[in-house]
Chain A
Amino acid sequence: MTDGVTLAQLEGIIGNLCDGAVLQYHLAKDHSARVEALEKILEFSYASLVRNSHLNKEQGEDELSVTIVEQLRSLSIQATHDTQTGGHCDIHVEGKDHFLWIGEAKIHKDYEWLVKGFLQLSTRYATGGYGQDHGEIVIYCRVRDGAHVLSKWKDLVEEQEAEISVVEDKIEERLWFRTKHKLNRTGLPFYIRHRLIPLFHEPAR
């Protein structure tokens, strides 16, 4: 019998990190699997921010993003903050076989601010190269009714950007939607997940 460690034994050693998504990321065979695993792992970081929204209400975009980056790094994922990628990208994850995933974070204050984030991500940071066709707009939302904010943002994106299409809409279940557009640089599709992190914290008592 092969002298090896089973997946279950591995999880016994390192813990069942992020419901297995951490192993999925490190053992991924291609970029599609890598993105899928990374998005699952990010959900755990976002959930942590939401759980602690009463503690992080004074934190700015950089502090919140650094928290996410540090969580990824603790899981042996090559994540950095403010890395130069055609500009200073908030969350930068690189990996095997030219993999690059970029996240641009914005605290929602108005929709023009989100437009700025979208343009930074899609026209400045995105390379669109092989293994580099996914990114994320992380919207830290401290106003009530995040689903409404995100739905309105989706409508604006669809109205203002003729070349963009919504390819997945999970606003009602998971507070995100995904768009696809042709990147100017490459002429190839680039996918952006627009993920709202509901940090509104105003308890009635």
Chain B
Amino acid sequence: MLTYNALSGLAGRDKVDTDMVSAINFLTSSRWALLEAHGQFVADDGSEFSLDDDDFQHLLATGELIHPATGDPVPDARTKVMPYFVVNFPAELEVQAG
């Protein structure tokens, strides 16, 4: 899974720092973005859930999250959700063969 830690490792860095976050910001939101962000929720019992995109966006905007299995509000949800990324190469950036 492509996480901030994994991308830092790929860049040869041993930790996520402000420079690394800025670089990843460029990859997620710039005109030349290659990455789509999603959210992974780790519940208190260790079970993991890939969040629905709308739920992840709602969390980013409000700090609120409803537990996908129990339907209960998750306290301190920002401490339990990790962004991860999926590569989505824009068609206009693909190198034309030949």
A3 to chain B, nearest CB (A): 5
Q: Does A2 lie within 8 Å of B31, measured CB to CB? A: no
Q: Convert B70-98 into 0s and 1s, putting 1 for each residue whose CB lies closer than 8 angstroms to a CB of A.
A: 00000010111111100000100000000
- A residues engaging B (CB < 8 A)? 1-11, 13-14, 20, 23-29, 33-34, 36-37, 76-78, 94-97, 99
Contacts of B25 in A (CB 8 A): 26, 76
> Contacts A29-B53, A29-B56 known; A4 to B33 CB distance under 8 Å?
no
Residue count of chain B within 8 Å CB distance of chain A: 40
Contact flag A2-B40 (CB < 8 Å), given A14-B18, A14-B21, A76-B25: yes
If the complex has contacts A5-B16, A10-B4, A33-B57, are A27 and B37 also in contact, measured as CB distance less than 8 A?
A: yes
Q: Is the CB of A20 within 8 A of B31?
A: no
B29, A4: Cβ atoms closer than 8 Å: no
How far is it, in angstroms, between the C-alpha of A28 and the C-alpha of B56 when the chains are bound? 9
Evaluate contact between A13 and B81: CB separation under 8 angstroms. no
* Residues of chain B from 1 to 46 with CB closer than 8 A to chain A in the complex: 1, 3-6, 16-18, 21-22, 24-26, 28-31, 33, 36-37, 40, 42, 46
21 A-B residue contacts at CB 8 Å? A1-B42, A1-B48, A2-B42, A2-B84, A3-B6, A4-B4, A4-B83, A5-B83, A7-B59, A8-B76, A8-B79, A26-B24, A27-B28, A29-B37, A29-B57, A33-B57, A33-B61, A76-B25, A77-B29, A96-B30, A97-B33
| B48 near A2: Cβ-Cβ < 8 Å | yes
- Contact status of A8 and B21, CB under 8 A, knowing A27-B83, A29-B56: no
Bound Cα distance A1, B1 (Å): 11
Partner of B26, one of A10, A25, A76: A76
Among B4, B46, B76, point to the contact of A1 (Cβ < 8 A). Answer: B46
Interface check B60, CB cutoff 8 A: yes
Q: Chain A residues near B5: list those with CB within 8 A.
A: 3-5
